[in-house]
Structure 1
């Protein structure tokens, strides 16, 4: 060891050891801190070793010469004295930003002092058990930090914290006003508040964060009141968005994540939540005007702002406004349609065109608001619920003589018919419209009524070959299946499948004819049969019309072929759905050329009667065809005859010769109209069964009501079978829940079906409680 660091006698006295540590350790360090010199250059290795050995000796000598407690007390006293005499006066003597700079400078010096105490001599000393015992078991791993940080906090920081905080808040306020401030200085001072907490944010939270948040709230409250009065809603939102972004940047620059979260909640509450109702209801620029004007960017900004966690009411007020607006538009459209429908009913006009307009208008409203929800409102479920509630309300209103379910089904029929009114659309455009139809369909409460009407219309399209595309038919059925399940579309899928299988049967029939040399039996008749599964298709009346001999042979031949394929199924002929083509000759105005008539089976049978005579009475036609004698059968025959006497295609001519008004209809005479001049070589006579008439509509509604009664009874039995015992109100609720996917059952109807099941002894009332039902096994 060099001469400047002599060996001490043993045992070493505290006074001698402390004098060495003070003169060679603390005094040079304080000089370096005051002068700004790098303390690492002041101490050499030998000097560090000498100080280390001195501390080690004072702490490890044999009792009673252990001076650990005196050493700790002296070090702390030295630190406190330095802070009070040098540091505190230096900081207090300055003002404004200069005070903060001096505080930061003194704090950095003090951390150097803490490093000096921790890293070299005391790093070893504090790990000695004797020193730990003498120091009341303090955590000496943080000895330097505890000793120095607490000294600085108690003797310097506590005296200047209020003024330092005030200066920081003043600088931040200037920054809000777009003035330039020393950001690095603010960061350094905020870091002092954090570091003096010794790992806890309590000091930072109480002394800096809380006052800062209070200042943020006051600022936001003041500017928001002014903006709300002066600016339109879009301009207000732009200002708020900029203010929030500025606050985020400020918090990320200076404060902790905790402060950022709390500050944003306060900003959102003051800037957004406090003024939400007033802003939404602004007459010229509120939420509804933004919707009606299609201000998508402003609506998207609204959603970004008001869906924040600091807005207590959130998006609920706007969602309710959206529901009300959609409901108002929808009600206006439905009300206008109802008025036109009533006027049309009075004048005997058509409903179809107005129905198409209604559906397309509703689809336009739905798509317009749905696009807003998807592109601007974050596809939030609350807005989907708003549009659902609105459409369910007006889409299921009574319209008079028709329902929305019927109109929607008819619109689908118009889209999917090859001869529909929208023939100019491409398949992609039709697919898009069908997708929109399914969205409206999902809001219907009478899905079962829609399904029954759609099934009847689909049958007409398939049987009369009027479907635009089988792919489109299957695609739409798949969409319905995704909405209501496979049970809902099983019959529709079966109908399309039947048409495919029927073509295979027909191909097999032609092969069989050729292989068995039976084609000559049919003559020149091209005979095709469509075989359907009874359970899939609507119920059609089986008529026993007397067919011409040629057609009768065709039926017999096909019956023989079909029996050879299977003996498990029985064919039931439905002639009312048949169609045929007749070749007509001998009409003078046809210029010697033949032409073709496409007619129904009934029309064909009537016209073939005129091959043998030119004039027939209604009674003779009735007897020849062997049509039933009921009023409905006679009226049906007259309709077929009238279709052949129409002004557009007058193939026959009608002449009433009877004078008796009561028997005039039976005395009508029909004859071939040789003056008929065909305008083309192929003429399609309108098919009476191709469109759903009013009678079929009424029958469909009656069938749906009957199906509903059966569905309600089945649901009641299922519930009773699983529950065994249930009270009346609970049974009503559960039945409604089970059936609401297809229709909303009337509680009165449910009650009536319960009474009927009690009568039929499926369930019974409890003897003690009449509102309690029991299942009868």
Structure 2
């Protein structure tokens, strides 16, 4: 066989040269094994020669069989790549050898379902495909290997028969054997029915080819596809090599045009099918055939005719049939009819979309128009839903059904849900249709409805009932939206209800008389407050601030009333602080149980307490007195847990104090008295309280308090040494059992000037002995007696009342005060009193009656302390009245002329009697001024120390920045005023710690 059709130079016997097998991969992953062969035959075209049977070469096409040692070939390249390969594959002649391309022709067996549709020129007048099996037809694309040499050609009958036989052999038996025959009408050749492409054999590589003795000729094969023609030149080349097949290719494969008659025929069949689908008569349609028809129209550039024809058909159907049916049911069964029409339209458009799927993939994307399904949605929206009468009826129907449900009537939820879903879908990835046709009118109608309803609610109900009704309405609307409206409608309708029922009436609700927030607080309506908070929290901070402001106004009013009562003298310091704690507890309960520990309410409560607590400049002193009262022994029978709880609450009030340094001074004084008089309930409680203060204010705040406890421990050791000293030196303390506490001046609140007090002789002599002992041991130290901090135990003897004195004083305690008669026998008691009270009582060993002036002259005790001592001895509890007061006035105030004498009728069932000191009412105005002066002096030093620390670190600072930093450092103890800080800066400049900058007088420079 001559591959190029050129006559060989020499005649000879036909020689067959076989080459190794190669494996080709098909489109359905079958393996096609081809045994390569080169058939060389005689150039004598007038006769054919038969190859001997032993020399016959077989070509085997075996589908699905794998050969040993065969490597799989790569996937079939894209069509445009195949065209390039067809042009590049050529046989070459080098010397006496044949060279073949190393690439192999690829044969593909496709699934018939994946084959492209038949072109329209293969249709008959009935729109059916012609049944033919011929080389080059699209029904059975063929692998064609032909020869254009002499001796004979391939006729049409032989061609057709060979194609048919080869197709049946490959498809039916998956094996075909082709050999030379001496039949007069046959020539050596192979016709294999595969995919629509012609395949030629390339040249093998050098390493796989042996040398040939034949004269060199060039072998060339043409790879031709009827559907992939490359032009007239390509047709001429094919015609030169395959002249007998050219008419078949030209007649059937390269006719790419479409007759208008066929276009109309196909469109008529598609139009009829679309109409049948819309009528629900689609059971007899062939969707595969319809798809092929639509495919061919788009393929042959008639997609425009198909697209706009579809639009016309669907539009006509919606306008003439669907819309008319809906309009006929406008006043009865409207919504179900519209929903059914929508459902039917969706179903038909899905089926039509499947038929026209190729148009969606190609034409729609190229022209950038709406796809088939979206086109159906747009037409349904414009022709049906947006029709003026239908649009109005739909809106009124939906809104009317919602209003019916609000008034308690039962409605068809599914119908509303389907209608809303339809409107959402018609928006095509947008909520525009739903919003314009339903949501906006729905929200407007709801706003008007709830505006009217809010006025009725407020007029007919109190605040508690109104809040519960509003909560119910919000729950209803939220459930309604979740049930049959769009999910994005729920927050919008809830906002409308909140706007109309809450936001526009916030003030009237919370300030409602006899039911508002103030009423709830006064009457401890915790649940109603919780409901109010929950409702107003929907408005975020805007709503909560209204409640918080109302509560704050009431709380500040209550706080100012407490301060005013204290200023009027109606309450003592302990009661004042206790009332503040009770008020704080009450609002803390509201904070936890009604306001969910909300940050806004917590800050408001703290701010209000800080405000009115600091309105009273006595608050630091009163708070210290309150703690002193709770930490003393015998604290009103409280348990340790109760004391601990009160201390924790007191620390909350302590945080609100702005003048913490003033509190420190008072607390140090009160702690000193508890320690020195041994009145502390427990050292553990004292240390725990100091630990709390240390946590709040730092170690600097409590360093002196901790030093006081250290002095107490050292004093116990010194007293043990003193007792040994007295025993070892046979010293007499004149019947006095002396206990001395050595206090460090910097730690304790001792007075700079020693208080004047004439100590009785016996105690004074005992003290002199101790002083001599201590100074001998610690040279260079000084001891100063502090009588205001001392205590004393006195042995007292009462002789009973004389008969002549029975009617002497009416103020004396009656015999019935203790539930017994006046004793006439001698009685002995041990009296626990203060040092000042001891000095007063020992005066009555020498005199029976003393006036106030006499006592003050004899003892030289400060007036305020003397008054407290006399009040405790003569005006305390009846069982503790050691003295009798004879006054011309009946008031509790002691006058200078009041007389005092021993109460001989004193009776107590206890041998040891403790005389309680009158509860302190705080400092007097002179004492308070003195204390303030000391505090201001201390503040000067603290401010100057802070200035020096800051300037030492910064070296150079502006005035405003320095004032800000000093305030920040000291705010934990007190808030210094900018004027006070400026004065301290001036003082440091005078003492040359700082200097002003020459360039800017407002800038300070630190001097090392």
TM-score under structure 2 length normalisation? 0.59
Q: Secondary structure at the match of 1:489?
A: helix
- Aligned partners of 2:775 and 2:781 also within 8 Å: no
Q: Which residue of 2 aligns with 1:271?
A: 501
Q: Which residue of 2 aligns with 1:36?
A: none
Q: CA distance change for structure 1 residues 17 and 408 in 2, over 3 Å: closer, same or farther?
A: same
Is the aligned partner of 1:303 residue 2:533? yes
Counterpart Cα distance in 2 of 1:369 and 1:404 = 20
- Aligned partners of 1:269 and 1:312 also within 8 Å: no
Q: Which residue of 1 aligns with 2:578?
A: 360
Counterpart Cα distance in 2 of 1:254 and 1:330 = 53
Counterpart Cα distance in 2 of 1:27 and 1:136 = 25
How far residue 93 of structure 1 moved from its aligned partner, in angstroms, is: 1.4
Counterpart Cα distance in 1 of 2:633 and 2:489 = 67
Counterpart Cα distance in 2 of 1:317 and 1:49 = 71
Which one of the candidate residues 589, 593, 598 is aligned to 1:375?
593
Q: CA distance change for structure 1 residues 675 and 228 in 2, over 3 Å: closer, same or farther?
A: closer
1:724-750 deviation per Cα after TM superposition (whole angstroms, max 9, x unaligned): 676766666665554444334355544
Counterpart Cα distance in 2 of 1:548 and 1:410 = 32
Q: Which residue of 2 aligns with 1:384?
A: 602
Pairs within 5 Å for 1:182-261? 182-261=412-491
Q: Which residue of 1 aligns with 2:375?
A: 147
How far residue 535 of structure 1 moved from its aligned partner, in angstroms, is: 4.3
Pairs within 5 Å for 1:50-89? 50-60=289-299, 65-89=300-324
Q: Which residue of 1 aligns with 2:622?
A: 407
Which one of the candidate residues 150, 156, 179 is aligned to 2:384?
156
Q: CA distance change for structure 1 residues 726 and 108 in 2, over 3 Å: closer, same or farther?
A: same
1:295-353 deviation per Cα after TM superposition (whole angstroms, max 9, x unaligned): 222222222222323x8942333333222222222222322332236xxxxxxxxxxx6
How far residue 105 of structure 1 moved from its aligned partner, in angstroms, is: 0.9
Q: Which residue of 2 aligns with 1:627?
A: none
Which one of the candidate residues 745, 748, 759 is aligned to 1:537?
748
1:618-656 deviation per Cα after TM superposition (whole angstroms, max 9, x unaligned): xxxxxxxxxxxx999954799699889966999999xxx
Q: Secondary structure at the match of 2:488?
A: helix
Counterpart Cα distance in 2 of 1:754 and 1:632 = 49
How far residue 537 of structure 1 moved from its aligned partner, in angstroms, is: 3.2
How far residue 54 of structure 1 moved from its aligned partner, in angstroms, is: 3.0
1:417-437 deviation per Cα after TM superposition (whole angstroms, max 9, x unaligned): 1134xx222222233332332
Q: Secondary structure at the match of 1:199?
A: coil
Q: Which residue of 2 aligns with 1:110?
A: 345
Q: CA distance change for structure 1 residues 632 and 752 in 2, over 3 Å: closer, same or farther?
A: farther
Q: Which residue of 2 aligns with 1:318?
A: 547
Q: Which residue of 2 aligns with 1:704?
A: 935
**Unaligned runs of at least 5 residues, structure 2:** 1-111, 113-123, 132-251, 801-822, 848-855, 885-895
Q: Which residue of 2 aligns with 1:424?
A: 637
How far residue 137 of structure 1 moved from its aligned partner, in angstroms, is: 4.0
1:463-489 deviation per Cα after TM superposition (whole angstroms, max 9, x unaligned): 322112334334433443444444433
How far residue 409 of structure 1 moved from its aligned partner, in angstroms, is: 1.3
Q: CA distance change for structure 1 residues 358 and 634 in 2, over 3 Å: closer, same or farther?
A: closer
How far residue 212 of structure 1 moved from its aligned partner, in angstroms, is: 1.4
How far residue 584 of structure 1 moved from its aligned partner, in angstroms, is: 8.3
How far residue 519 of structure 1 moved from its aligned partner, in angstroms, is: 11
Counterpart Cα distance in 1 of 2:881 and 2:297 = 133
Q: CA distance change for structure 1 residues 444 and 59 in 2, over 3 Å: closer, same or farther?
A: same
Q: Which residue of 1 aligns with 2:677?
A: 464
Q: How many residues align?
A: 699
How far residue 168 of structure 1 moved from its aligned partner, in angstroms, is: 0.7
Is the aligned partner of 1:122 residue 2:356? yes
Pairs within 5 Å for 1:551-590? 576=787, 577=789
Q: Which residue of 1 aligns with 2:287?
A: 48
Counterpart Cα distance in 1 of 2:298 and 2:793 = 123
- Aligned partners of 1:150 and 1:196 also within 8 Å: yes
Is the aligned partner of 1:397 residue 2:615? yes
Q: CA distance change for structure 1 residues 277 and 137 in 2, over 3 Å: closer, same or farther?
A: closer
TM-score under structure 1 length normalisation? 0.75
Counterpart Cα distance in 1 of 2:408 and 2:331 = 19
How far residue 79 of structure 1 moved from its aligned partner, in angstroms, is: 1.6
How far residue 195 of structure 1 moved from its aligned partner, in angstroms, is: 0.6
Q: Secondary structure at the match of 2:471?
A: helix
More helix by share: 1
Q: Which residue of 1 aligns with 2:129?
A: 7
- Aligned partners of 2:622 and 2:922 also within 8 Å: no
- Aligned partners of 2:545 and 2:600 also within 8 Å: yes
Pairs within 5 Å for 1:619-634? 634=860
Counterpart Cα distance in 2 of 1:284 and 1:398 = 32
Q: CA distance change for structure 1 residues 155 and 288 in 2, over 3 Å: closer, same or farther?
A: same
Q: Secondary structure at the match of 1:156?
A: helix
Q: CA distance change for structure 1 residues 203 and 525 in 2, over 3 Å: closer, same or farther?
A: same
1:11-49 deviation per Cα after TM superposition (whole angstroms, max 9, x unaligned): 7722333344344x424422327xxxxx6xx268xx333
Q: CA distance change for structure 1 residues 229 and 650 in 2, over 3 Å: closer, same or farther?
A: closer
Counterpart Cα distance in 2 of 1:195 and 1:151 = 13
1:233-269 deviation per Cα after TM superposition (whole angstroms, max 9, x unaligned): 2222222222211111122223334322222222222
How far residue 69 of structure 1 moved from its aligned partner, in angstroms, is: 2.6
Is the aligned partner of 1:29 residue 2:240? no
How far residue 193 of structure 1 moved from its aligned partner, in angstroms, is: 1.0
Counterpart Cα distance in 1 of 2:436 and 2:872 = 99
Q: Which residue of 1 aligns with 2:91?
A: none
- Aligned partners of 1:307 and 1:315 also within 8 Å: yes
Q: CA distance change for structure 1 residues 229 and 597 in 2, over 3 Å: closer, same or farther?
A: closer
Q: CA distance change for structure 1 residues 20 and 673 in 2, over 3 Å: closer, same or farther?
A: closer
Counterpart Cα distance in 2 of 1:340 and 1:586 = 38
Pairs within 5 Å for 1:417-456? 417-420=632-635, 423-456=636-669
**Unaligned runs of at least 5 residues, structure 1:** 34-38, 342-352, 617-629, 654-664, 666-670
Counterpart Cα distance in 1 of 2:274 and 2:989 = 103
Counterpart Cα distance in 2 of 1:222 and 1:676 = 81
Counterpart Cα distance in 2 of 1:104 and 1:642 = 99
More displaced 10-residue stretch of structure 1: 542-551 or 319-328: 542-551
Largest Rg, 1 or 2: 2
1:570-618 deviation per Cα after TM superposition (whole angstroms, max 9, x unaligned): 79676645656677899999999986555668999999999xxx979xx
